[in-house]
Structure 1
Amino acid sequence: IANGRHWPEQNQIFFNNGRGIFTVSVPLDVIRETSYATELADFDGDGDLDIAVGNDMAPNAIYLNAGDGTFSRSGTFGKPYAPTRNLTVADVDGDGDVDILITNRGSENEICLNDGFGHFSESLPFGEMDDSTIDVDVADLDGDDDMDLILANRDGQQNYIYLNDGQLRFRHIPFGTGNDETRAVAHADLNRDGIPDIITANIGEPNRIYFGDPELTFRLSITFDSGNDESYSVAVSDLDLDGDMDIIIANVGEPNTVFINKDNGQSWDKIILSEEKYNTYDILSADLNNDQRPDVIECNSQAVNVYYFNRERVKN
């Protein structure tokens, strides 16, 4: 868990006992850092999960796993002092290892290329120099078998798709209104037409779905949450186990919500996760207790972090 943000804290590792219980935790490092994001991936190709940490105005760091859940700081990646806000991991250059994308608010974003051993000495920029990029998602939007980028820009800036030509040269396409206050972005084929759709979490305006089309215009869109909540994170998962993807939204100052897909992305049933009004800055879904149901995890600022077990009946 990344704990710092603007106020340096120790990042923590919580170990799952296999049943969704986290009674054992250890600090990732003895130092306190202004960490905004952590990501897990096998960066050095040895079969275990390593950790990337993204820090605000401090070097971003890689921690390699010794294979037994102990981690050592092995190096840094990206600019040494940048306003990093998020990390995304994916094989962007198609060479079989995991690269890291860094979003830097008001500064140049970076793709840090992995040499296969967890070293990230080569990087290249993406987006505009002054973009206030807060999140990036990765998907093959145009069906050419390489990874394209979906950028969420805050501060009323235009959101963009960056199409990869396979050589890490990108052509950008705008989507959205041009002045959205987007805080997070995700993708899924919500209407099951074989084309990825884009979901945006916004503050002070409705959250939206932009449906993909063969021309990649993303002009057809709907709101799935008509409120004006401050939504800071979005995740997708098949929560009701019916074969289509549902949406999970993290809010600041309002209850977090689940939206169940009822009509191929055209209608949604809203469920309140809890009446608690946390300041939730990240939300994700994973099967924590090995019961074949995706659960929901909230990361809350200045409050306990919370996870919810899914009690949906498993469909055979």
Structure 2
Amino acid sequence: MFLFNRKTLGKAAFVIHCVVVQFLAGAKESLAQITFEPLGSEVTSAFRHFDGFTGQYRLVEAMTGGVAVLDYDGDGDEDIYLLSGQDLDGEPDSRKTNALLRNDGSNVFVNVTQTAGVGDTGFSLGVAVGDYNNDGCPDIFVNNYGRNNLYQNNGDGTFTSVAHELTSDLDAAMAAGCCFLDRDGDGDLDLFVANYVRESFPHKTHVYKGKPTYPSPLRHKAERDLLFDNLGDGHFREIGRQIGVGTRASRSMGVTTFDYEDDGDLDILVANDAEENFLYANDGSGNFEEVGLLAGIALDARGLPQASMGIACLDLNGDHRLDLYMSSYSNEFAAFYENKGDGFFDDETVRSGGVAFRNITWGIVAADFDNDGAVDLYIGCGDLDDDQRADVEGNLVLWNNHRGGFKELPQPAGGSTRGVVGADLNSDGLVDVVCNNSSDLPEILINTSKSVGGYLDVRLVGTACNRDALGSRVTLQADGYRAIQQLTSGTSYQSDGSRLLHFGVPDAAGGDLQLTVHWPDGSTQSEISVTRNRCLQVIQRARPSDARK
């Protein structure tokens, strides 16, 4: 006979509750299914990436290239801009340029590079998209090995190169990631440009274990990063060291901007290769101080630098703070830095279920791929030389298990991926993925996952701030649901993602949706009773003081 009293019954109920919760969580994980269907070569063959390989194993060959999505023609569809390398010896080959693929709907993409005038013939690595002149048309910056390029959107489907507006003393630097931001709140987008190393030609080929291979980046001199101030008249001026940016040289890779301490301005995060990461904290006036070590993201939990590559900014654990995920070299942990608040982060990679991936991890997309209300990750994998590339096992999806960790969902083997971005290319409410593969065709991956909830896409238009509304923080909430995102430029590895903020809304979210926008100028705007499963455009309303101007 078993005798129960109130105390033992309480313990039994607690044990049963724990078992049920664990069972349900395990069942939910077993049902996790995120799938993508690649478009055929008849679509993607309009572009093939070229890495400039000549057999001399120049480091720059292994690092290209990024990818961006933008609605360049204003038709509501996300178009794709792909970067390519170039011949490193002799004159540029006009057949090996960057490419703009226009989205014509129904998964049809047309190469319009020549007519649009964006066929940059430099050796391209990083790309950023931003409306730097506030005319309502997205412009394109290309970060090259050598002379960089800035394409001004003419508003008629064509661009004009205005590269002469971006001069510096580092035109021979090997480029990296880049991003637009309004550093000083004047309503104009400034430009942050990261650099990797200074690589001189000709060079001596590195040999390891009797075979030629790419050298360590530590064999090359690091370069400083740059910040170009937008003067508001179509001209830029490089002022990095004057405002605390680029005072120390580093081997920069991916970059992003976000408000890490929630003080209303944008800070700059730089993922550095084989040395400590940089976090440039904005003091509110547009000046910066490097605080990566103090904030806890310069080094990993062991106190060691990693070979950081790409960056994703996401609220992994649902505490409404922006956390960080950084890709890294093969057999190293891809690091997860949890935002603890008050400007501090902890390396929680192991606790979140992180693993050391066999291949080098490059680009990252943070998005709710199955609309269950939690942000997942898509990670591009690839290696450096042909022997390593043969062992690439495919890219990865990390499904958010709703408990502060991930479940790995391997994907079919593809190319040796570098830049990766996400966007809803076919307007079906699911985030698709674009991969730029080294020396290969790109992959346009259409999300075929079962949507387990609804969604809301949000497009912001600034009027009293920069027109792109970069730096805005958006909160979406309902009964039992609250999510937060920040609109920024620069993401992944040397890439730039969609300006549409995608929120997956779980079916369990009850009542009306309420959306609140905290604009970069400090104003707040709320939309009540927002309808799900749509794209909502929010135009910044003028303050009473603005209306009188």
TM (norm. structure 2) is: 0.47
- Rounded Cα–Cα distance in structure 1 between residues aligned with 2:307 and 2:315: 23
1:168 paired with 2:306, answer no
1:74 paired with 2:239, answer yes
For 2:433, give the aligned amino acid.
I
Q: Is the 8 A contact 2:255 2:494 kept in 1?
A: no
- Rounded Cα–Cα distance in structure 2 between residues aligned with 1:210 and 1:286: 20
Quote the offset at 1:283 in angstroms.
5.0
SS in structure 2 at match of 1:36: strand
Report 1 or 2 for greater relative contact order, CA contacts < 8 Å, sequence distance ≥ 6. Answer: 2
What is the match of residue 276 of structure 2?
108
- Rounded Cα–Cα distance in structure 2 between residues aligned with 1:283 and 1:121: 25
What is the match of residue 107 of structure 2?
none
* Aligned 1:136-215 pairs, distance under 5 A: 136-171=311-346, 172-174=348-350, 175-180=353-358, 181-203=360-382, 204-215=392-403
For the structure 1 residues 103 and 241, does the alpha-carbon distance in structure 2 shift closer, same or farther, using more than 3 Å as the test? same
For 1:238, give the aligned amino acid.
D
- Rounded Cα–Cα distance in structure 2 between residues aligned with 1:202 and 1:100: 25
Q: Is the 8 A contact 2:143 2:175 kept in 1?
A: yes
Q: Which of structures 1 and 2 has the bigger CA Rg? A: 2
Q: 2:157 aligns with which of 11, 14, 20?
A: 20
What is the match of residue 63 of structure 1?
228
For the structure 1 residues 201 and 176, does the alpha-carbon distance in structure 2 shift closer, same or farther, using more than 3 Å as the test? farther
Q: Is the 8 A contact 2:193 2:225 kept in 1?
A: yes
For the structure 1 residues 283 and 255, does the alpha-carbon distance in structure 2 shift closer, same or farther, using more than 3 Å as the test? farther
Unaligned stretches of 5+ in structure 1? 267-280, 288-313
For the structure 1 residues 90 and 48, does the alpha-carbon distance in structure 2 shift closer, same or farther, using more than 3 Å as the test? same
Quote the offset at 1:79 in angstroms.
5.5
What is the match of residue 236 of structure 1?
422
For the structure 1 residues 242 and 115, does the alpha-carbon distance in structure 2 shift closer, same or farther, using more than 3 Å as the test? same
Quote the offset at 1:95 in angstroms.
0.8
For 1:214, give the aligned amino acid.
H
For the structure 1 residues 141 and 177, does the alpha-carbon distance in structure 2 shift closer, same or farther, using more than 3 Å as the test? closer
- Rounded Cα–Cα distance in structure 1 between residues aligned with 2:354 and 2:415: 18
Q: Deviations over 1:216-246 (max 9, x none)?
A: 2202x3233x124210011000000011111
- Rounded Cα–Cα distance in structure 1 between residues aligned with 2:181 and 2:429: 26
Q: Is the 8 A contact 1:229 1:254 kept in 2?
A: yes
Q: Is the 8 A contact 1:249 1:283 kept in 2?
A: no
1:218 paired with 2:406, answer yes
What is the match of residue 49 of structure 1?
189
SS in structure 2 at match of 1:133: coil
Quote the offset at 1:25 in angstroms.
2.5
Quote the offset at 1:100 in angstroms.
0.5
- Rounded Cα–Cα distance in structure 2 between residues aligned with 1:283 and 1:83: 17
Quote the offset at 1:134 in angstroms.
0.7
For the structure 1 residues 92 and 231, does the alpha-carbon distance in structure 2 shift closer, same or farther, using more than 3 Å as the test? same
Unaligned stretches of 5+ in structure 2? 1-141, 197-221, 383-391, 453-492, 500-533, 537-549
What is the match of residue 177 of structure 2?
37
What is the match of residue 292 of structure 1?
none
Q: Is the 8 A contact 2:310 2:363 kept in 1?
A: yes
Quote the offset at 1:285 in angstroms.
5.0
Q: Report the structure, 1 or 2, having the larger helix content.
A: 2
Q: Deviations over 1:66-112 (max 9, x none)?
A: 11221111223255121111211111111111100011110001211
For 1:41, give the aligned amino acid.
L
SS in structure 1 at match of 2:229: strand
Quote the offset at 1:173 in angstroms.
2.1
Q: Deviations over 1:31-75 (max 9, x none)?
A: 313321211111111111100011121221211101122111122
Alignment identity in percent? 27
- Rounded Cα–Cα distance in structure 1 between residues aligned with 2:423 and 2:496: 9
- Count of residue pairs brought into register by the alignment: 270
For 2:364, give the aligned amino acid.
V
CA RMSD of aligned residues (A): 2.3
- Rounded Cα–Cα distance in structure 2 between residues aligned with 1:242 and 1:228: 24
TM (norm. structure 1) is: 0.79
Q: Report the structure, 1 or 2, having the larger strand content.
A: 1
What is the match of residue 252 of structure 1?
438
